Structure 1
């Protein structure tokens, strides 16, 4: 199922949508790429109607560091032809890795800091990366070795239409460079509707996944890499993957009994959970 964001891109243009992978580029030997990006404008432009396509050169740069060797489709450049500009279509490169936004996506993409609900939404953000985040090492109170920082998200398992629309490496949106633990790890192996093409794209792009058998690789906040198994304990969910004990109102999520599973607890930075490595 293809999920398009064409209707949103015309009204959402905040600098909060800049990618964490782009911000980190100087630290994985891509300072020249970072320096080519104009941080004063949106990552798509600002003008995608035929004028100055300021950041389009940046979006066309492929960075092999953020491509999983088991995910070869991620290496291909694709053009969004509904954004014509001066190059005959907006060029985009993609990523196999995303930052941990916690158990749910909040603050919402369309929420502005001036909105009355912004404070509650930001307080409800439990991961390391989210819109307007500024997480410090001292904020990770659950222990850096027990907190997810980055995870795999298998680009190659998307249907062809969604490969154009998601995993954009210069975008800071949920579904591009952030994942949540709201849905189970590797949903294409667990949900009732079967393969990745059958799993709703809006589920798949905000979930950690891989092409490896039995689980996926994650980078913890201490820099170590762990392989987390598909069998990791997770909160109960219904047939479409939504957790049965979570409710949301105005972008603020509340979890009831039985609470977080081990997988969700690993994605919170200060939940106070005690987790041992043999639980995942």
Structure 2
């Protein structure tokens, strides 16, 4: 039987009232508020794992270099260390960073060849402040301040995904000399978040209740002036003048698993930014707590606070000399950080 149209609906239809709509929106907002931190935490966990894998790959590259050459990469830094065997610093000094030397071992052989790193190109130029250096100009006619197309290359393996810094940054804020260009300031170069551990010795030791102030560093005496530690005689694996003291497996007396090889730092935090090109920016010290902050809660930026920093909550990633990755908490005692930074200190380090 056909039902008349007027009898098909027994009740009138109603839409959402304004109050009901607001309640639904509020519920959605609460759910988003509950889920967003979990999503962000999951993303950070992924970035931290990616960063850890980067360190493992770099450590593997260093070990491949060690196997091929019998030592970890040899570098020099400025006038510190005075005279290496065979004479002083020349136009062909090996002033590339360890990250530059391992390019062939981390699937970057074309870049290594293009930058002519194996040719010893790129010498150190003595200047009034011992801070001027020279890197190769491989593109004749390139304008000043633009940097070299090879040394300005960003390498994803050398970047922590948690750091929001640009992949290409200013080389230094002091004078740069480019072959064929003369003096240049603000030269661009590919940056890195990973730096070798030069050891625990430092020209200074910060009183950590007042970061940014200077104090004497334990282990240094008047017979060992600041520019000799760690610039010449660092007690870590990757210090600036390993040209003078090449690090071999046999020199790591504390054990591979108990010695830092490299760790993280935040781009632009101090020391004129960081790049993978030159040895001047390729190292950090185990001379202060991980992620040391000043009284305002910001990362310490004084030169003496030349330690390891990261954007990961609660600590930073490190690669040990055995190639394993290790996350050190911000709460790790300074004595343990310093002990891990030395290769032959004889310290007893607890298991992580």
TM-score for both structures, normalised by structure 1: 0.66
Maintained 8 Å contact 2:289/2:332: no
- The separation in 2 between residues aligned to 1:169 and 1:185, in whole angstroms, is 22
**Other-structure match for 1:132:** 241
Correspondence 1:218 to 2:318 = yes
What TM-score do you get using the length of structure 2 for normalisation? 0.54
Q: Shift in Å at residue 169 of structure 1?
A: 1.4
Q: For each residue in 1:178-207, what CA deviation from the matched residue of structure 2 results, as whole angstroms up to 9, or x when unmatched? A: 01011221112xx335313xx334245x21
SS of residue paired to 1:72: coil
1:209 corresponds to which of 300, 309, 315: 309
- SS class of match (2:347): coil
**Given that residues 16 and 131 in structure 1 are in contact (C-alpha distance below 8 angstroms), is that contact kept between their aligned partners in structure 2?**
no
2:261 equivalent to 1:169:
no
Task: Give the root-mean-square deviation of aligned CA atoms.
Answer: 3.6
Number of the residue aligned with 2:292: 187
Aligned mates of 1:92, 1:180 — CA distance in 2: 23
Residue of 133, 148, 151 corresponding to 1:56 = 148
Return the match for 2:348 from 266, 274, 279. Answer: 274
Query: Which of 105, 126, 136 in structure 2 is aligned with 1:27?
Result: 105
Distance 1:11 1:129, change over 3 A: closer
Which string of whole-angstrom CA distances, capped at 9 and with x for unpartnered residues, describes residues 56-76 of structure 1?
233211111000010131413
CA spacing shift, 1:139–1:214, aligned 2, 3 Å: same
Q: Is 1:44 paired with 2:134? A: yes
Aligned position for 1:178 = 283
1:45 to 1:79, Cα distance in 2 relative to 1, 3 A: closer
Larger radius of gyration: 2
The residue that corresponds to 2:267 in the other structure is: 155
- In structure 2, do the counterparts of structure 1 residues 101 and 10 end up closer, same or farther at CA, with 3 Å as the change threshold? closer
- Find the aligned partners of 1:214 and 1:80 in 2 and give their Cα distance: 29
1:17 touches 1:172 (CA, 8 Å); kept in 2?
yes
* Structure-2 change in CA distance of 1:91 and 1:143 (3 Å): same
Is there any run of 5+ residues in structure 2 with no aligned partner, and where? Answer: 1-76, 81-88, 124-132, 204-222
Contact 2:286-2:341 within 8 A present in 1 as well: yes
Distance in 1 of aligned mates of 2:185 and 2:237: 37
Distance 1:177 1:74, change over 3 A: farther
Structure 1 residues 262, 26: closer, same or farther in 2, change over 3 A?
Answer: same
Residue 111 of structure 1: aligned partner = none
Q: Does 1:76 align with 2:168?
A: yes
Corresponding residue of 2:130: none
Q: Match of 1:21, SS?
A: helix
CA shift in 2, pair 1:143/1:211, >3 Å = same
Matched residues, number: 220
Q: In the aligned structure 1, how far is the partner of 2:255 from the partner of 2:198?
A: 16
CA contact (8 A) 2:111 2:150 kept: yes
